Amino acid sequence: MQLSRRALLAAPAAALARGANLRIGVMDGVALAPSDPDSVAAAARAGCEGIQITLGRQTTAGHLVMASPERQRAFLAASKIHRVPIVSTYIDILHAHCLKNDREAMRWTAEGIQITRQLDARILMLVFFGKCALETREEMDAVTGPLKELAREAERARVILGFENTIRAEDDIRILDAVASPALQIYYDIGNATNLYHVNPLEELRLLGRKRICQIHVKDKGYLGEGAVDVAGAVRVLGEIGWRGYLVLETGAPSKNKEEDLKRNAGYLRRLIR
């Protein structure tokens, strides 16, 4: 049965178990290593309240790494033990197979939708960077059809597709309107907006609004609060528009100590939220 528009839009908020508007998540590769169940314990030690799982590239069996039932069970068990929910997944194979011009990308994304459902993660982040970036109006138009097809499948699986890219909010909105499905929303990265494609994330967050954003990546060059990204301003704007959800850390480790640097960045973000 397909979800209603109201139910799909509410899905990310439903993951906020204790009712706070903003919660801190982290990518598994930032906490420890991509697709590694031990990353859940590392996230918990750093005080993170959710984790994003990397689905991994193709295995010798012809599936994504996280298609393994054993690995899924290990993540789900760790999530329960450490009380760190799986709040989204990240399909990194879309850096190699582009949805704008490669039908193989459709197959991988369909598998990613099913894995996300099995992990009860609710959000599958789709990436459009490097050779797979949407650089022209023609490429943006070319991806609309595949996204519309995948959104129908995502609706059936009760999964939201998080559209992370390097295009402006106006173009995001145009694509979302063309796809016309609550299963396609924006996965916004305030670090990329500032440092990669050079737009003002505060203005874009306001323009996109509460209902178009499913989750947010937070990072900067170096430690949070010391670079060009206005993290405090983004937190303030999210409060102004009434957005609820996870701010997922995609931060680096300048000291080469992943766990200590994650604690530092999570602590900075926690102080802003409080």
pLDDT along the chain (274 residues), means of 10: 43 40 97 98 98 92 95 98 98 97 96 98 98 98 98 98 98 98 98 98 98 98 97 97 97 97 98 92
Which residues of 97-237 form beta strands (DSSP E)?
A: 123-127, 160-164, 184-189, 213-218
Nearest to residue 95, comparing CAs of 53, 142, 129?
129
Furthest CA-CA distance within the chain: 49
Could you confirm whether domain 5-273 is CATH 3.40.50.970?
no
What tokens were used for 26?
Answer: 């982290």
pLDDT at site 20: 62
**What does DSSP assign to residue 215?**
E
Which residues contact residue 184 at a Cβ distance below 8 angstroms, ignoring those fewer than 6 apart?
147, 151, 154, 160, 161, 163, 176
What's the predicted TM-score (pTM) here? 0.92
What tokens were used for 156?
Answer: 């059936």
Q: With contact defined as beta carbons under 8 Å apart, do 12 and 52 qualify?
A: no
pLDDT at site 172: 98
Nearest to residue 113, comparing CAs of 60, 158, 73?
158
**What does DSSP assign to residue 119?**
T
The full length of the chain comes to: 274
What tokens were used for 87?
Answer: 């709040």
pLDDT at site 7: 45
With 0-12 CB in 10 A as exposed, 13-18 as middle and 19+ as buried, what is 198? exposed
Alpha-carbon gap, residue 195 to 199, rounded angstroms? 8
Q: Under DSSP, is residue 125 helix (H, G, I), strand (E, B) or coil?
A: strand
Q: With contact defined as beta carbons under 8 Å apart, do 177 and 184 qualify?
A: no
Q: With contact defined as beta carbons under 8 Å apart, do 118 and 159 qualify?
A: no
HSE, CB side, 13 Å, CA atoms: give it for residue 74. Answer: 15
Domain limits of the chain?
5-273
| Torsion angles phi and psi, residue 162, rounded to 5 | -95, 110
Q: Under DSSP, is residue 50 helix (H, G, I), strand (E, B) or coil?
A: strand
